[in-house]
Chain A
Amino acid sequence: MMAWVVGFLMISGGIFCLIASVGMLRLPDTIIRMHAATKAGAFGGGLMFLALAAFYMDLSTILRSFAAILFLLLTAPVAAHLIGRAAYCTRVQLSERTQIDELANVCDWCEQQSACEPDPAFIEKPPEKSF
């Protein structure tokens, strides 16, 4: 019975990892690709560690594999945030189907300053003096 659980967890983890890397290959743009890599990849790794815990069934292995899952789930968003920030900073080419680029007018740390002049409608005006 336990063998079926281990096999199911392992194969579904492998399928999620494969989905992550197919998304890596097929999706149109760096930031969308990061979406596939981070979420599906971390989930596949977590399923694999769950299979490991179910396979050995002793305390030290279960604790270590849960620590590994926790570490994967903690580090994946941090790494994704840093990479996304670096990619946006370097003005990576966005997909043609991008509809909204909300940071286009607020960044002051990108490479070409002329490309991101602040929109005058968004600049905060100083309060008028009443006296």
Chain B
Amino acid sequence: MENTIITFCAEITLILLTLAIFFAFIRLCMGPDPADRIVALDLVSVLIVSYLAALSIYTGEKSFLDVAISYALIAFLGTVALARFRERLARRGPDGKYPPENGTAREDGK
């Protein structure tokens, strides 16, 4: 009885999470700005972490929890790297040189 309830709920949750990843992926494909894509990628990684947790309940395999934690670590690093990269592009001047010659951007870190 208990196993039936948990399996049923886990199936519903996996379906909901698959739909959620699909919607976020649509935004990832059509986002008008690169920042939209970074936000969508961040959401997709959080959704995959939740998916791994639900999969761990569904299959009864404890090691998916470790996979989820390490994936969350790597995904955070990826998001931070992408956001820093985007911001550094913004700090360059319109001529693309760094530091810009016409002084449109402040020197980094000062």
Give chain A interface residues in 54-102, CB to chain B under 8 Å.
Answer: 55-56, 61, 64-65, 67-68, 71-72, 75-76, 78-80, 82-83, 85-87, 89-93
Query: A105 at interface (Cβ–Cβ under 8 A)?
Result: no
Interface code B18-55, partner A: CB below 8 Å = 1, 0 otherwise? 01110110110000111110111011001101100110
B interface secondary structure, majority:
helix
A49, B46: Cα distance in complex, Å:
12
Q: Which residue of B lies closest to A37 (CB)?
A: B43
Would B40 and A92 count as touching, CB distance under 8 A? Answer: no
Contacts of A110 in B (CB 8 A): 90
Would A3 and B62 count as touching, CB distance under 8 A? Answer: no
A interface secondary structure, majority:
helix
Would B16 and A93 count as touching, CB distance under 8 A? Answer: no
Query: A15 at interface (Cβ–Cβ under 8 A)?
Result: yes
Q: Which residue of A lies closest to B84 (CB)?
A: A82
Contacts of A17 in B (CB 8 A): 16-17, 20, 46-47, 50
Given contacts A14-B50, A86-B84, A111-B104, 8 further A-B contacts (CB under 8 A): A7-B6, A14-B54, A18-B16, A30-B36, A42-B46, A76-B46, A90-B86, A109-B90
Some 26 contacts from A to B, beta carbons below 8 A apart, are A10-B9, A10-B13, A10-B57, A17-B17, A17-B47, A17-B50, A25-B23, A30-B33, A30-B35, A37-B42, A45-B46, A51-B54, A52-B56, A52-B57, A68-B72, A76-B46, A79-B42, A80-B42, A82-B79, A83-B42, A83-B83, A86-B83, A86-B87, A89-B87, A89-B90, A109-B105
